[in-house]
Amino acid sequence: MTTEAREFWDERAATFDREPDHGLLDPEVRRAWADLLLPLVPLAPVSIVDLGCGTGSLAVLLAEAGYEVHGVDLSGRMVAAAREKARVAGVRADFAQGDAADPPSPAASFDVVLARHVLWALPDPGAALARWVDLLKPGGLLLLVEGRWSTGAGLPAARTRELVLAVRAQAEVEHLTDPALWGRAIEDERYLVVSRR
C-alpha cells in the first residue's frame, strides 16, 4: 500500500470509532457483532488474525472471548489506538503495523483470517485473498465482511464470492441487513462471506 493510503488512515484514527460499527461503543451494536462472529469461530483457543484491524474493536471483542488475536493495520495511529483499547479492556491482543494485503506473518500461522471492509480497498484483491488463504492452517476459516455502499464504493457480494472461489472451494454469503450491526437502518449491500475450505 502507498504512503498516501497510510496517511489517509492515520488522519482518521482519532475519529474512526465514531461510526457505531467501527467503535462498537453501543452495547447493542457490540452484542450484534459478537452474536454474528462468535458462533462461526471454532472454540477457543484458536489463533485469529484481523487484517486491516483499524482501532481493534473486533480484535478486542474476540480476545475478550478467549481467542489468541493478532491485528494488522497499515496505520500506525490505528495500531496505537488498538493497543490502547486492548489495554483498557484488560485483554491480550498483539497488534502490528503492516500491509493487510501482504501481512507480516508466515504461511499456516492462523486458524481464522478475518477482514472487515478491507478487500474492496486493495489494488489487487485476488492476490490479497491468495495471500490470506496462505496464512490459514489446514482447515482454517476465512471471514470477510464487505459491502457495496451507497457511495458506489465497495464490492458486490457476487464479486467477492467469485474472488474467494478462485482460491478456495467454498464460499457462503450472508447479507447483513440487521440495523443492530450498523447502529442504524441501511439501504446498501453489506454482507459476510464465510469460507471453511
**Model confidence pLDDT, tens digit, residues 97-138:** 999 999 989 999 999 999 999 999 999 999 999 999 999 999
Output the nine-digit C-alpha cell for 179.
Answer: 440495523
Residue 105, number of CB atoms within 10 A of its CB? 19
What separation in angstroms does the CA of 73 have from each of 6, 8, 56, 98, 101?
9, 12, 9, 5, 10
Mean pLDDT of 6-24: 91
Given a cut of 70, whether residue 1 has pLDDT beyond it is no
For residue 98, the enclosing domain spans 3-195
pTM (2 decimals)? 0.95
User: Looking at the 3D structure of the chain, how many domains does it have?
Assistant: 1
Nearest to 18 by CA among 70, 68, 54, 61: 54
Q: Write the pLDDT tens digit of every residue in 135-170.
A: 999 999 999 999 999 899 999 999 999 999 999 999
Residue range 169-183: mean pLDDT, rounded: 97
Q: Tell whether the model's pLDDT for residue 183 goes beyond 80.
A: yes
SS3 content of the chain, % helix, strand, coil (to 5): 40, 25, 35
- For residue 123, the domain's CATH number is 3.40.50.150
Cα separation of 74 and 103, whole Å?
10
> How, if at all, do strands 172-175 and 189-195 pair?
antiparallel
Average pLDDT over residues 66-92: 97
For residue 45, what pLDDT is reported?
86
What gap in Å lies between CA 176 and CA 15, rounded to an integer?
24
Cell digits of residue 44? 477457543
Query: CB under 8 Å to 14, separation ≥6 — which residues?
Result: 77
In the predicted model, is pLDDT for residue 76 greater than 80?
yes
> Does residue 35 surpass a pLDDT of 70?
yes
> What's the whole-number average pLDDT of the chain?
95
pLDDT at 63: 97
